[in-house]
Structure 1
Amino acid sequence: MDRLDRAGRLAAYGAAAAMAPYAVIKVVWVVGAVAGLLPIGEGFGLAGWVVLNTVTIGMAGIGITMALALVRPWGMRLPGPLVAFVAWVGSGFLVAMLPYAVLDSLLGGSGGDEPQGESGGASMPGWEAVLIQVSFVGMGLGLAIALPAYLRRRWPDAFAGRVGDDGGGVPRRVLWAAGLGAVIGSVWLYWAVGGPAGVAHPADRNADWRLLNGVCGLWALAASVATWALSRSRPARLPRWVPLTFGWLGAGSLFAWSGWKLPLTLYVAVADPADTSLPENLTVAAGLHAAAVAAGAVMLPTLVRRRGRGITAPELPGAAS
């Protein structure tokens, strides 16, 4: 067991432990609301509040199970592509929260409206808010370290060697996807620094919006650069696991965040709710998110490719057992 594998195992346990307080808090909210001992979140009825928090309890349970699957022996017996995909999407969601949470704390709060589903209303104690943030940051950091370590244990051939020593070369569509990811990331960074093009409601821009655009833009660029690096046909000194790690996390961020934002953008465009507006031009935003989902999905197979092979069921270690 080398240092990366040891760090990955510790990170997986840490991710599961970090998410546990969030799950406990949500259980307390549900039980307390049903028993009439705790207030219901502002804007919710009892049924809606219970359903919302029950769903998030389930999501937390899935996150804890996934983290343990990356380190426990039974995780190696689960269908490899399923584990890899779920962890890829989950880490893609959470990895963007790490620098966002740090920058948001350094800036003393961004002034954006906290989602009511997480706030529990104005009466939520400060320590609960801290625990919730620690849970998300801990899970994101843990998966960011544990996922590459798990993938390397399960498919060591994909991570072995150095960039270009397999002859490189990728399908043209992958290079187009990498270029598209770079364009999308550049647009998000442009908005993050205050660029006005494509922004329909400048007054709605706040620090939260700028930070998330900046973080997601950087991860989009990381995915593109990593994919280009892995397409090299000439050997380089860079170990293959470095661009693979950043590529996995960056492509996951592209796919997961835009996969969540696209339905929200379409809902706002179609329903035009009076209490919700987005700073971006909705047509531009929807196009960017759709392109980001496609780019992340196209880049993914290249990130698990090794001498023409990828993560497929017949190649799984111990698949016959």
Structure 2
Amino acid sequence: MERWDRVGRCAGYGAALAVSPYLLIKVSWVVGSLLGLAPIGKGFNLAGWVLLNTVTIGMAGIGIALALALVRPWGMRIPGWLVAFCAWTGAGFLVSILPYAMLSTVLDAARGDTANSGGDDSAMPGWEGALIQFSFIGMGLGLTLALPAYLRRRWPEAFTARVGDSPRTAVPWAAAVAAVVGLAWLYWAVGGTLGVAHPAERNTNGYLLTGVGALWAIAGSAAIWTLARQRPARVPHHLLLTLGWLGSGSLFAWSGWKLPLTLFVALAHPTDVTLPENLAVAAVLHLAAIVAGAGMLRSLVGSRPRTTASTSPTQMQT
């Protein structure tokens, strides 16, 4: 077994283990709230709180299954599109939440505010917030090493191609849409107020998360643009694929999470939840981000070099 495969397998097991505290905490929240032993999060009723955390329990379970699929033999027998989709959306969440979690922790520590580090509910004990951050960081670092090793085993041709190996094509519309969305978010992240209905509701953590999402949207758009308008060059093909993969996944995953929340606030008008952005503008941007992310992924799939006749059946399996 090559050293890269050994590192990837260890990282996959580590990622699955790291998510376990998050899963257990979420289960305890659901059970505790149903039994009246744990508080309900701010801005939620019992049904909404249980639904939200049940969804995140499912996401954590999928994350553990994905981490194991990347290192176990049965993972090579799962349809490639299913592994790719789960890894794509999971990576999309993590590439935004990891920088956000680390930067917000540093800023909270600088302000002397550590009571709510790692959580979005002031009632959360500090140790729970720390474990949740550990789960995010451990999962992110684990997948960072395990996923490339898995992809290298299953689709090795993607790691040997260079920019210019495929015919030049028109720039996909999704890259242009992603660039517009990213620039709009970047404008908000640096303090722009156009399209912001409640400026007083903005805070440092919101600026950080919006800014990280904006940077990934712009980086992914630039990568897809380069792949489409490629010219012979000594640019690693897999580097552009990685940026396009992460940027499109971030757009799809985060806006796929935020769009339902935005629509809920717009339709239900909860008294204790106020989003800073104009809800109509935010909903349009999130919808555009979802469509752009899916379109960019389609472009990436089309840009993957064709498998040669000598490729083994295992490598060609999709």
TM range (shorter): 0.7 to 0.9
Matched positions, count:
311
Rounded to whole Å, the distance in 2 between the matches of 1:101 and 1:191 is 19
Query: How many Å apart are 1:40 and its aligned residue?
Result: 3.6
Rounded to whole Å, the distance in 2 between the matches of 1:118 and 1:108 is 13
The 3 A distance-change label for structure 1 pair 55 and 195 is closer
Query: How many Å apart are 1:74 and its aligned residue?
Result: 0.6
Q: Does 1:70 align with 2:67?
A: no
Matches within 5 A, 1:131-142: 131-142=131-142
The 3 A distance-change label for structure 1 pair 192 and 11 is same
Rounded to whole Å, the distance in 1 between the matches of 2:76 and 2:116 is 38
Which residue of structure 2 lines up, in the alignment, with residue 163 of structure 1? 163
| Equivalent AA in structure 1 for residue 38 of structure 2 | P
Which residue of structure 2 lines up, in the alignment, with residue 41 of structure 1? 40
Which residue of structure 1 lines up, in the alignment, with residue 174 of structure 2? 177
Query: How many Å apart are 1:171 and its aligned residue?
Result: 4.5
Aligned 8 A contact 2:157 2:305 in 1: no
**TM-score with structure 1 length normalisation?**
0.84
Query: How many Å apart are 1:7 and its aligned residue?
Result: 4.0
Query: How many Å apart are 1:317 and its aligned residue?
Result: 2.7
**TM-score with structure 2 length normalisation?**
0.85
Percent sequence identity over aligned pairs: 63
* Structure 2: unaligned runs, 5 residues or longer: none
Aligned 8 A contact 2:163 2:234 in 1: yes
Query: How many Å apart are 1:32 and its aligned residue?
Result: 5.5
Which residue of structure 1 lines up, in the alignment, with residue 288 of structure 2? 291
Rounded to whole Å, the distance in 2 between the matches of 1:89 and 1:146 is 16
Query: How many Å apart are 1:299 and its aligned residue?
Result: 0.8
Which residue of structure 2 lines up, in the alignment, with residue 60 of structure 1? 60
Which residue of structure 1 lines up, in the alignment, with residue 249 of structure 2? 252
Which residue of structure 2 lines up, in the alignment, with residue 281 of structure 1? 278
| Equivalent AA in structure 2 for residue 142 of structure 1 | G
| Equivalent AA in structure 2 for residue 231 of structure 1 | A
Which residue of structure 2 lines up, in the alignment, with residue 80 of structure 1? 80
Which residue of structure 2 lines up, in the alignment, with residue 11 of structure 1? 11
Rounded to whole Å, the distance in 2 between the matches of 1:47 and 1:306 is 44
Rounded to whole Å, the distance in 2 between the matches of 1:316 and 1:194 is 53
Q: Does 1:210 align with 2:207?
A: yes
Rounded to whole Å, the distance in 1 between the matches of 2:304 and 2:52 is 45
Aligned 8 A contact 1:220 1:253 in 2: yes
Which residue of structure 2 lines up, in the alignment, with residue 196 of structure 1? 193
Rounded to whole Å, the distance in 2 between the matches of 1:284 and 1:34 is 36
Aligned 8 A contact 2:266 2:279 in 1: yes
| Equivalent AA in structure 2 for residue 77 of structure 1 | R
Aligned 8 A contact 2:16 2:65 in 1: yes
Query: How many Å apart are 1:46 and its aligned residue?
Result: 7.0
| Equivalent AA in structure 2 for residue 180 of structure 1 | V
Query: How many Å apart are 1:236 and its aligned residue?
Result: 1.0
* Structure 1: unaligned runs, 5 residues or longer: none
Rounded to whole Å, the distance in 1 between the matches of 2:267 and 2:221 is 32
Which residue of structure 2 lines up, in the alignment, with residue 230 of structure 1? 227
Query: How many Å apart are 1:309 and its aligned residue?
Result: 4.7
Query: How many Å apart are 1:98 and its aligned residue?
Result: 0.8
Matches within 5 A, 1:301-312: 301-306=298-303, 309=306
Aligned 8 A contact 2:92 2:248 in 1: yes
Which residue of structure 1 lines up, in the alignment, with residue 261 of structure 2? 264
Which residue of structure 2 lines up, in the alignment, with residue 94 of structure 1? 94
The 3 A distance-change label for structure 1 pair 100 and 118 is closer
Rounded to whole Å, the distance in 1 between the matches of 2:214 and 2:19 is 26
Aligned 8 A contact 2:170 2:229 in 1: no
Aligned 8 A contact 2:153 2:315 in 1: no
Aligned 8 A contact 1:184 1:288 in 2: yes
RMSD between superposed Cα atoms in Å? 3.2
| Equivalent AA in structure 1 for residue 237 of structure 2 | R
Aligned 8 A contact 2:186 2:211 in 1: yes
Rounded to whole Å, the distance in 2 between the matches of 1:236 and 1:74 is 38
Query: How many Å apart are 1:233 and its aligned residue?
Result: 3.5
Aligned 8 A contact 1:95 1:144 in 2: no
Rounded to whole Å, the distance in 1 between the matches of 2:73 and 2:204 is 43
Cα displacement string for residues 144-170 of structure 1 (whole angstroms, at most 9, x for unaligned residues):
443333223211223322111223x23
Rounded to whole Å, the distance in 1 between the matches of 2:46 and 2:197 is 36
The 3 A distance-change label for structure 1 pair 127 and 177 is same
